[in-house]
Structure formats: structure tokens, C-alpha cells
Amino acid sequence: MNRTLKSILTITAFGAAALGLSAQPAIKLITVDMGKLLEGYYKTEQVVAKLKGAEQKIQDEGEGKIKELNQLAEKYKETVDQAKNALLTPDARSKAEADSAKMLDDLQQRQTDINNYRVNSQRELQQQLNNARAILLDEISKKVTELGKGKGATVIIDSRSGLVYSDAAFDITDEAMALINKDRPAAPAPTAASAAPASSTPAASPSAAPMVTVPGLAPKN
């Protein structure tokens, strides 16, 4: 192959590469505050209300179990005192001691069951929270992507991800907020029970379940 032909082929190759580069779209960066969108999304409010209801149910059931446990503890103490009564016959004392030992086993098992119930319920509630957050963020991401593409964006970055600087002119959070809440249902008329403001973010983890302890008893392993 002669030198002239090589030169022509080289120029053609560089030209094709240049055309290929020029065909790529210019980078257009847009930022969005995903945390703010999650907090302001109307479905987040629904999730928070549902999880608060579930948490209240767990608390109510736990308190009911504790009440039963305390009642049984009182009966146990009465049985122990009865077994110490010097006026009892040997047979009656033996029966009272056997009854108190059985009650003690029952108390310890119930105490362990209540603690496990509260821990497991809170763990399940936390899992529901995590799942709900993932679903909500996925819905929001799709809407943000739709909005960003409409603005010709090639890159969309969460402004809470540690950016050093971002021009507010390229932020679409407010527009995205309007888009994701476009289908918000009409709010019901406020009632006295709903007058107190409630947090609208599911970001906080449910509080850890306290252990239940009856005085003088150790949880059964």
C-alpha cells in the first residue's frame, strides 16, 4: 500500500472518529433533593399513618400481655405465702409449693414470650418501613427521571449525596414535588382526633422495644 493511500485512510479514520464524538449529546446535569421529595410525597403520609397504627396495635397488645403477667405474678406471690403458712398440713403445703413452682415456670415463660413478641414485632415493623421506603423511592425516581428527560437531562444527581456545589438553576426538586403529588386525593375534613400534627417522614426507625421484667423473676432462656 503506497504512502498516499495510507494518508487518505488515516484522515478518513480520524474524520469518522470526530463525527462519532460530535454525535454524542452534550452533558446536561440536573440535581434533585430525593430526601425532600420522600418527605413531601403524599403516599409517604399514608405509609406513616399505617405504620403508626400498626405500632399502636403492638403497644396495646403488649400492654395487655403485661397486665395478664402482673396478675399472674400476684397470684404467684399469694401461693408462695400460702406455702409458708405454718398452719397448713404437710400435704397442703406440698401442694402449695408444687403450685407455686408451676406458676413460676409459667411466669418466666410468659415474660420471655412477651419480650420476644415486642422485639419481633418491632423488627417486622422496621422491615415494613424499609420495604415501603424502597417502593416510594422507586416511584419517585421514575417520576424524576420522566421530568429530567423532558428537560433534556443526561445526568440527574441527588443533591444530598455529597455534592460540593450545584447551581440551583438546574435543580428540579420543586417541579418534581408537584409531579409526584399530582394525583394526591382530596384531604378529608379535619377532626378533633386528627388535629395534632404528625411527622410525615418514614425515615426514623421505630423505637426499640423495652424488655418486660417482673420483680423477682428472671426471663426464662
186 has pLDDT over 60: yes
pLDDT tens-place string over residues 110-156: 999 999 999 999 999 999 999 999 999 999 999 999 999 999 898 89
pLDDT of residue 3: 53
- Can you list the pairs that 111-115 forms with residues at least 24 positions away whose Cβ atoms lie under 8 Å? 111/69, 111/212, 111/213, 111/214, 111/217, 111/219, 111/220, 112/219, 112/220, 112/221, 113/65, 114/62, 114/65, 114/66, 114/69, 114/212, 115/209, 115/211, 115/212, 115/219
pLDDT tens-place string over residues 44-56: 999 999 999 999 9
pLDDT-derived band at 6, boundaries 50, 70, 90: very low
pLDDT of residue 87: 81
pLDDT-derived band at 66, boundaries 50, 70, 90: very high
191 has pLDDT over 80: no
d(C-alpha 163, C-alpha 149), whole Å: 21
- Mean pLDDT across the chain: 79
